[in-house]
A and B are shown apart, each in its own frame.
Chain A
Amino acid sequence: MSKRFYILTILIAVSLILAACGGGSQAPEQCADNPDETVCAVIEPGSTIKIGYAGPMTGDYSAFGIDISNAELMAVDDLNAAGGLEGFEYELLVEDTQGSPELGAAVANKYVSDPGVVAIAAHTFSGSTAAAIPIYAEALRPMLSPSATGADLTMNQTVFNRIAFTDTVQGQFAGEYIKNVLGVEKLAVLHDGDVYGKGLAEKVQDVFTTLGGEVVAIQAITQGDADYSAVLTDVGASNPEAIYFGGYYSDAAILAKDMPVAGLEDVILFSDDGTFGAAFIELAGDQAEGVYATSAAAQGSPRVNEFGERFEAIYGDPPGAVSTFTWHGYDVIMALVDRIKSVAILGEDGNLYIPRQALVDAVNGLEGYEGLTGDITCTEGECNTTGPTFWRVEDGEWVQD
């Protein structure tokens, strides 16, 4: 009896070892022992390689989320039309954060709980992104954001990268442009009190003062108000030649409307990439004329023009019309997929294996990718190596200045 039991035990042990060896020969080595897919994403034939987008799809700032996700969807369609990866198709998941940190964290948790999601082409808005970074870091999902520009997002973290230039870079360029190109000597600085607007305004103020200009007034406005004539009157009392506004288009439109009432008809209004876009002109109407804004809009090359024509044919608006990040959205997907291709392994069992840590490292080390927005090379999370461009409203259109 005991002898038979002994033999049976040995047989079971041997068969277990054989089974384990069999598994090992089918899946790549680093993914062999990975039942819960925390280390490796396993994509079975028939499933898709999922990439997550999270941004404001409803609410005040839905223009950003809708535009960027459209560009990302177009990139995914292009990739699938070109055959996908080893017969596997890509899929873009889109979730609404309304731009808020709370929903940003909620969406991040949702994506992390889906083992099929390999990378995140988001988030949009800095606050929402900051809330999501630790969640993705723990689950090893690399992020490449088209639009989160808060200066300190790339510090002290391991998974976040972005191809939008930071607020610091934008502020630097804007300050220099106002002083050196427009020749303004007396500048008033306004912001909406938000992380984005305030950070930009402070940077512009620094740069402008360093260059020898005089900042004559600094004021914060109440976001979402309907009338800024009082605060503009206060600013106007110090006779500025130009006003820099750090904030978004809806507030910028009201500022543009109220400037004549405050006696600032001849004063230049200069804003940021949160103002750039067709929505501002639509809201401000005639008062939009002569307003400046910065943008990352890439210009000129045949590839960019070809993209613009195709985008307009699909969605009706040219890129950059709804938000300034259309090109970024397309680039983000293309760059992420380029990295996914470099680490993905086709197992002998027909499954596609994507080691998560290797993908994080590959995205963090992205180098020399030629996108629509120029060269994309990531150093410590910052992937944009070209600065902003400057635009002005002329006859109801944004024209590069």
Chain B
Amino acid sequence: MSESNSKKLVVPINTFRIVQVIISILFFVFVGWRFYTVIREGVYGPDTWLRFAISGLIIGSVYAVIAIGYTLVYGILFMINFAHGEIMMLGAFSGYFVFEGLKSITVDPAVDLSFLDAYQIFSVVIAFLVGMFVAAVSGYFLERIAYRPLRGAPRLIPLISAIGASIFLQNAAQVIFGPKRRTYINPSALPRSVGWRIPIGGEDVILTYTGALTFVLSILLLIGLWLLVMKTRYGRSMRAVAENKQTAALMGINVDQIISNTFIISGALGGAAGVMWGIHNGIIYHYVGFIPGLKAFTAAVLGGIGNIPGAMIGGMVLGLVESLGPAVLGIDFQLKDVIAFSILVLVLIFRPSGIVGEVLTEEKI
């Protein structure tokens, strides 16, 4: 990559590059034209656009939190942890069982009041903590069992191990929890599909409480993580390991410890995403992490893999593309995944470093 960058100065005309630019310009002109037509024809009112945007941003914020898990691990180990979606699934199941358990504890038999409804905020906090803890522990053991023995191996080997771990975790969950779909029981203050009404263009657009919780919590988690990596002493040692493991080790940093902790942090974020997914979307089963995992990976690449703000922007952009894309292009909503993955391909071709991608060092490429 950096080689071709330096060559660009020497070679005056690069035909491939010109074709790339022309194609991308045509693509943006086409999308812009479609967008203009759809707005001019007035197919959708302002309320509809707002609903699309809300739906996209909520989904996008979950993608962003999962994408951070990919990005953190990639930043340190330069490998794609494909089992991350399954870590999220484990978090979702943990939150489900916490709610189930708290629902079955009765604190006031007179009015049949369960713990879940009596201490609602506390219950939600417990669900998130347990979900994050279980996912973090799973992330730790995933690294110990599936990745650490392959630390020195060629980069394709841990990737295959990751895919194997993903399939293993899915099937283990199917055996343990059964193939049945389950519905999250939310505390009564957090009902699904109910929320604030925003009047716009003569219609009320609903912003659900669960959606707002998901969005706000995602942003808080991302800011917290960014502060951890950029502003603390611990974050500095993480960045040092990402830069160069040998040199970091020479400076007295325990590289294995840092890598383990990275998996714990990324697992905890995945677990939080799982609980958010359950609270907002409601239905979970053993396969629930797979597609969001792939989408979040797309989001991470879109924003620039290895880059924390990039993963966040990538997640939001992907969420918006999924909800707005089919409407703007005027095609079937069944094709929204096609649009999302086409964007992945386009990004890989035209801008492999992503929207806010850093200039990668020789070693990372």
Contacts and interface: CB of A to CB of B under 8 A. Distances in A.
A287 B192 CA distance: 9
Given A222-B333, A234-B333, A261-B206, A283 B181 contact: yes
Contacts of B287: 224
Interface string B83-126: 00000000000000000000000000000000000000000000
Given A261-B51, A263-B51, A219 B333 contact: yes
A70 interface: no
B179 A60 contact: yes
B212 to A, nearest CB: 12
Nearest to B287: A224
A89 interface: no
A231 B43 CA distance: 14
Contact of B282 (A219, A230, A231, A257): A257
Contact of A234 (B195, B292, B327): B327
Interface of B: 43-45, 47-48, 51-52, 55-56, 59, 179-181, 183, 192-195, 203-206, 208, 211, 277, 280-283, 285, 287-288, 291-292, 322-324, 326-327, 332-334, 336-337
Nearest to A234: B327
Contact of A285 (B183, B194, B324): B183
A250 interface: yes
Contacts of B282: 254, 257
Contact of B334 (A222, A254, A285): A222
A283 B184 CA distance: 9
A59 B52 CA distance: 32
Contacts of B43: 237
| Size range of the chain A interface in the assembly | 35 or more
Contacts of A237: 43-45, 48
B206 A263 contact: yes
B56 A230 contact: yes
A230 B183 contact: no
B193 A258 contact: yes
Interface in A198-243: 219-222, 224-227, 229-231, 233-234, 236-237
Contact of A263 (B183, B205, B324): B205
Contacts of A58: 179
Contacts of B193: 257-261, 287
A198 to B, nearest CB: 10
A260 B322 contact: no
A250 B183 contact: no
Contacts of A234: 44, 48, 52, 326-327, 333
A254 B204 CA distance: 21
Given A254-B283, A263-B51, A263-B203, A230 B181 contact: no
B51 A233 contact: yes
Interface in A292-342: none
Given A234-B327, A254-B283, A262 B333 contact: no
18 contacts: A60-B179, A60-B285, A221-B333, A226-B277, A226-B283, A226-B288, A233-B51, A234-B48, A237-B48, A250-B181, A250-B283, A254-B282, A257-B282, A260-B193, A260-B194, A260-B206, A262-B51, A287-B192
Which residue among A59, A221, A237, A283 has the maximum number of chain B CB atoms within 10 Å of its CB? A237
A261 B53 CA distance: 12
Contacts of B44: 234, 237
Nearest to A285: B183
B172 to A, nearest CB: 15
B40 to A, nearest CB: 15
B334 A220 contact: yes
A193 B51 contact: no
A62 interface: yes
A230 B322 contact: yes
Given A62-B180, A222-B336, A263-B47, 6 more contacts: A226-B277, A230-B326, A233-B323, A237-B45, A250-B283, A263-B205
Contacts of A253: 183, 283
Report, nearest first, the 6 A-B pairs whose CB atoms are least far apart: A220-B334, A230-B323, A231-B333, A226-B281, A233-B51, A229-B55
Contacts of A86: none
B204 A219 contact: no
A186 to B, nearest CB: 16
A33 interface: no
